Each structure stands twice: as structure tokens, then as C-alpha cells.
Homo-oligomer: A and B are copies of this chain.
Amino acid sequence: MDSPLNNREIASRKRREQVLDAAAACFVERGFHQTGMREIAKRASVSLGNLYNHFPSKHDMLIGLAELELSSVDPFVEMLMRNVRPSVCLREFTRAYFQHCSDHDAAILYLDIAAEAMREPDIAERFLQARSTLAEALTSLLFKGVESKDFGPSIVDTSTADLILDLIEGAAARGSIDASKPDMLMASIEAMVFAALRH
């Protein structure tokens, strides 16, 4: 009869999520350092003190968010590993990942996390881990594409995947800031990526 225990655990987990959501919303609206714990508490409908039953510090909330961010790339990794023609797979990935990175709120939060990562090693760690997982999957795909003659061999090396990601992320982030037409941007990105992989 572990259900009462589980109930409590579930409730606690829910609260944690609640808090994390509130924190994310606040950080997006006002930035990590401008957001006060009181704001987060109010937004999460939780008492100030209780915040600390779920996260030992504000910093740890950001870590929590960074980890969420980390796990948000999982579907893209999966997408890259599907057994379809590399060029098709890449095209789909590019579109989907660009869409994902173009989300305005996520982009803002991403920037804040990145900025914090420059000063806080434990944030950087999470940050880079997600990135390298993705890059590795993409690298695999690229090499598979070269082998299957889907892509030209000339310029594919271990940095290429990273650069493609840099390009997608950078363009998406900038696009979400100055709010230019994302469709056109998407097309241009695709063109550039595939130009790089031509025979």
C-alpha cells in the first residue's frame, strides 16, 4: 500500500514542476537576475519559504531549467537517428529544429541561460552536454549521408555538424529578436545547408 507515499511524491513533483514553470515565465519576462524569488513564488502560487523545499537556491532553478532545455533536444536526436534517407532526414530536422529554436520565449530563456553559463560552470556543463549530444547525432547522419553518396564528401568533417547547428540556432535566435519573416529565413537556411553538402 504505497499509494499514500506515492501520492505525496506525486504532489511534490507536481509542485516542483509548477515552480519551474513559474520561474521560466518570470525569467523570460524579466530576466534571471531581475526576477525575485517572491515573484516566482507568487506566480507559482506557492509560499516564498516553500520554494526552498523544492529548490535549494535560485541558481538551482536555473539548473533545473537548463536540464529541461537539455531534455528538449531529445526528440531531435531521435529524429536524426531514424532510418530514412539522410538528405530527407536532414531536411526535416533542419525545419523542425529551426522551428523549435524560433520560439520567442525559449530563445530569450536560452540567452539568459547561455549568459549565466559564461560565469557558472555547472550551468555551462548542462548547456554544452545537450549541444554535444545533438552534434554527435548530426555528425553521424552526415557521415552516413556521405557514405550513401547522398552528400558530397568534400567539406564534411567533425565540425560541420556544429556549424550547421550554430547556423540554425543563430539564425533562429536573431529571427526571434527582430521578428523578420521566418519562412523566408527558413528557406535560406535550408539552401545554405544543402549547398554545403552538395557533390
Interface residues of A (CB under 8 A from B): 30-31, 33-34, 107-108, 111-112, 114-119, 124, 127-128, 131, 154-155, 157, 159-160, 162-163, 166-167, 169-171, 174, 177-178, 184-185, 188-189, 191-192, 195-198
> Given the complex of chains A and B, what is the CA–CA distance between A167 and B196 in angstroms?
13
| Majority SS at the chain A contact face | helix
Q: List 17 A-B contacts (CB under 8 A).
A: A30-B119, A31-B118, A34-B119, A108-B118, A114-B115, A115-B115, A117-B177, A127-B177, A128-B177, A154-B195, A155-B188, A159-B184, A159-B185, A163-B171, A166-B170, A167-B170, A195-B196
- Taking a contact as CB atoms closer than 8 A, the residue among B111, B116, B124 that contacts A114 in the complex is B111
Contacts of A159 in B (CB 8 A): 184-185, 188
